[in-house]
Amino acid sequence: MSASPTTTFDDNNTDTSTLTNPTLVLNCGSSSIKYALISDDNATRITGLAENLGLDTARIKHTTLNGEKLEISIPGGRHKLALQKILELLEQYHFIAVGHRVVHGGREYSEAVRVDEHVLDEVKRLKVLAPLHNPANALGIEAVQAIYPDMPQVVVFDTAFHQTMPPVAFRYPLPKALYEEHKIRRYGFHGTSHAYVSERATEITDASGTHGWLTAHLGNGCSATAVYDGKSLDTSMGLTPLEGLMMGTRSGDVDPSLHIHLKRQLDMSLEDIDTMLNKESGLLGISGLSNDLRTIEQAASEGHKDAELAIEMFCYRVGKYLASLSCALPELTGIVFTGGIGENSVTTRTRILEVMRHFGIKVDVDKNAKLVGGNEGSFHSSDSSLELWVIPTDEEGRIAQETREALNLV
């Protein structure tokens, strides 16, 4: 369905009274913008996605307050035009603040901060650490400033949650000058997701005392984190989101000498190797089929050997990483699965836990089978040594919460 923003809402007659004091959350990627307008009690929201930006197929997919799905074509539209259209769609709801997901905050930011000239300059400067994402994040901030110059804005950094990691976890064993002068260290990502699900697990567990969680955010991008008493103590991603787990198209950990080996043997450029490791590897590279686990699982069930190997490698590497991250925790309460794969693939959760065979984990098969499609719950047996949870992530809700806290609106 295609419509202009004005026509859509003139005809829609949506009741806006139920969306009280909403916060707009913007997540500007390199070629997309995900957005959500969330009420102050987090109970009501409008969501949407601008995708394929810069291409003839650029469009905005918008879900209204009453659940109606709209599609608005913006051929060739880039971030600025898309943001203008999104703000037009939402202006009638009178949002009171805007929270931006910003991928990299370097080592300067350990919490959400209100946008001022210095903060915006820092977001732009840190593009050296996130060249695909931070420039797009800055565009989102500037687009709102241009239309709503007095609107309070907050940036919530992906890296901020992991600033509690100790040096033993975040430093690389490299010359000190690289850390001190060039900020080469492990930063971690998916911070809002790991923060949300670990906090939620602590809310709903019956376990007493201080809680230690291994959180596994598994989707097209994947990362795992050790969280103790609400603080990240170690995580799988590093200087960039490429380090760590095998992902949809990213390799995760490989031998650091792979670059020079491929240069010498195949005369590949650094740019080509970087593209290969980020966009042509992982589940896609091993299966030769897709980065979508559902497609790979279907092929594996039909006897496709490379698809089966891709699944085995994915689960083995997640299980191995979770086991190693347990070393960071003074106490281990349980494991939390989230993300598109973590929330929906029953067999993947099972196979990951089978890798951790020495931990005394016992799975309740029936409970596990029911935890798909956004359902939250535990799936450990009563005699399991660790709790097992599936908690659907809510990064937008977490960003809205941190935005309100940064502006003292709670």
Active site amino acids: 158
**343 a known binding residue?**
yes
On whether 395 is known to bind a ligand per the annotation, the reply is yes
Q: Is 342 labeled as ligand-binding?
A: yes
Q: Is 27 annotated as a binding residue?
A: yes
Instruction: Find out whether 34 is annotated in a ligand binding site.
Output: yes
The residue with tokens 């086991």 is 323
Is 357 known to sit in a ligand binding site? no
- The residue written with tokens 């994040």 in the block is 137
292 is in an annotated binding site: yes
Q: Is residue 220 a known part of a binding site?
A: yes
Query: Residue 341 annotated as binding?
Result: yes
- Residue 252 counted as an annotated binding residue: no
Instruction: Find out whether 293 is annotated in a ligand binding site.
Output: yes
Q: What are the φ/ψ torsions at residue 258 (nearest 5 degrees)?
A: -60, -40
Question: To the nearest 5 percent, what fractions of the chain are helix, strand and coil?
Answer: 40, 20, 40
Q: At what angle do helices 270-279 and 258-266 cross, to 10 degrees?
A: 120
First to last CA, the chain: 38
Task: Confirm whether residue 219 is marked as ligand binding.
Answer: yes
Which one-letter DSSP state was computed for residue 2?
A: B
Kind of pairing between the strands at 334-338 and 212-218: parallel
Residue 309: CB partners within 8 Å, gap ≥ 6?
286, 287
134 marked ligand binding residue: no
Q: Are 64 and 55 in contact (CB under 8 A)?
A: no
Element (H, E) at 390: strand 387-390
As beta bridge partners, residue 97 has 23
Count of other CB atoms within 10 angstroms of residue 148: 15
According to the annotation, is 221 in a ligand binding site? yes
Q: Binding site annotation covers 88? A: no
Long-range pairs for 6-9: beta carbons < 8 A, 24 or more residues apart? 6/88, 8/62, 8/64, 8/70, 8/72, 8/89, 9/89, 9/92
Identify the residue whose tokens are 């989230």: 338
Which parts are annotated binding residues for ATP? Answer: 34, 217-221, 292-294, 340-344
| Residue numbering of the annotated binding site for Mg(2+) | 27, 395
Binding-site residue numbers are 27, 34, 101, 217-221, 292-294, 340-344, 395
- Which parts are annotated binding residues for substrate? 101
